Structure 1
Amino acid sequence: VVPMAPRRTLVTGCNGQLGRAVRALAEETGRIGTFDFCDIDTFDMGDPGQYPKYDWSLYGAVINCGAYTAVDKAETPEGRVICWAANAAGPALLARTCAEHGITLVHISSDYVFDGTRELHDEMEPLSPVSVYGQSKAAGDLAVAGCSAHYILRSSWVIGDGKNFAKTMCMLSDKVAAGDLGQVTVVDDQLGRLTFTDQMARAIFHVLDTRAPYGTYDMTGSGAVRSWADIAKACFTAANGNADRVVPVSTAEYYASAEGPIAPRPRFSALDLSKLESTGFSPRDWEDELAEYLKELRA
């Protein structure tokens, strides 16, 4: 009797912030040998002709970390095409393939699938996107839901290894401290919570390992709901103690002189975490994790 090898896990979008976090967790938990990784340079999931390159019978799960996230560029004619290919057409093809081969599909969603009028969003709220990016993500969610074995984990305000808001704020704080910049304006009328990619990776592994009921789960950091300006002040405080140089402004004021199209942003982005918590996973308080992250950045 020859035991069957365990079915493998394919991670798409492996070079992004979340993809790197998933790889790190796979290494940490000793299962990296059963993982395969790809990005758009080796597998464009929006191209039907690329699917035959994989033996899909080998896989038990696909974790889709790939997405187009340039929300303002998505409002341009060129960006709109790329955005829909990455966030809607690609996931639709991936969902069809997973359904045909009995593969569990994990897909990452966004608070942008809502218009942001409700102060707290749960999984039962109807989709109501107001931007091209949000519309493409909503279309991707609907396509993935067509795969019976699926998990959609909905995030907001992602922070991970790579370019992100916290790093940018620390860099600007340094410029202010050096006298190269007088102050920084940051919007204070968009409210939500950060999502750290290490916590998202752990949530993904949790739902797969525990075989939680299939469906959609909100997954961000837990804790207080803050504005972007609040987060910027925390970054400035940690970097150089110059939070007084952060000037809160409205979204309308911030983009008043912007050139080119600007995507509408949800005002309220906080997500209800109770459904995910009912499966036994409790996300860390994002402010605690931000403090640790900022300390590591300065070190």
Structure 2
Amino acid sequence: MNSFVVYNLESLERQVFEVSELEVQECNDTRNRLVKALDLEIIYDQIIEAYWDYKNKVNYWNLRSVSTPFADYTLNHEIRSSLNRLAFNLLNLSKLYLDWHFNESKKRCFAFELTADKNVEQAIISQRREIFDSNLNYAVGCNLRSHSQHSALPVRTFTTGVRYDHETYNRTAHFSIFYGYEELANMGVPKKRISKDIQLDLTDIIDGYVYAISQKHMLNRELTDLTVSQSRTAYVGMWQELIDQTGFKTFSSELHTNTEGPIGFSLEWFEVYDYLKSKHRSSIDYSGITFEK
């Protein structure tokens, strides 16, 4: 028997109500929507943290390269090794996110799964197409992700050095991981989108790639916000009528089903969703930012 149990926290009394399979299913569906919304926020948080780790490490090696101006093959290995780990991790995490976001072959669309609204799915498809067509770094990043998983690590070579301005006597350190035309074409980037003399830096590629994912995530939030809010309210209040019947002033409640253990109705765990929305409140585009000293 499925039952909803209300416990009086001021005594040992409890009241048990029989509930239908339909009510249990509605409860599980509502909770699952909230779990799925939180899961996507967690995956996105992992991507951004991995992105920050990569950016920090590039800056670190930029500084180290100034301190070690001569060829050092051991150091070069450590540079490639650390950046490969970080870039590979970022690209793999992004694959997980993008498969949730929209995957035609797997018939997946996160926003549609939450809302069951075909217009929402179409909005996702339209933005996806527009981003791929307009953001070359994102398109390259998608090909690089597949190439890294099946053919070669993302960082094979890099260039580093210091440029001198003879007029101001300023020194500018540079650290670059370039991809040329042949490398881009070999990893599957459409040739019509790249020129013969193109030189794309890996950090610029990752900047544009993550920016595109952040745009997708902001749209996911926008399209599912009402559904998440309604599900949150429904989950907390769906058993309120039964709770009111008990007359208990202080209480706790659980749902007992035929197939799984007690299900509580506190949504403290879902506060992480609010935290992550606040932590990453807008899309991230670092491509045009210059940091002052």
Task: State TM-score, norm by structure 2.
Answer: 0.26
Larger RCO (CA within 8 A; separation ≥ 6): 2
Task: State TM-score, norm by structure 1.
Answer: 0.25
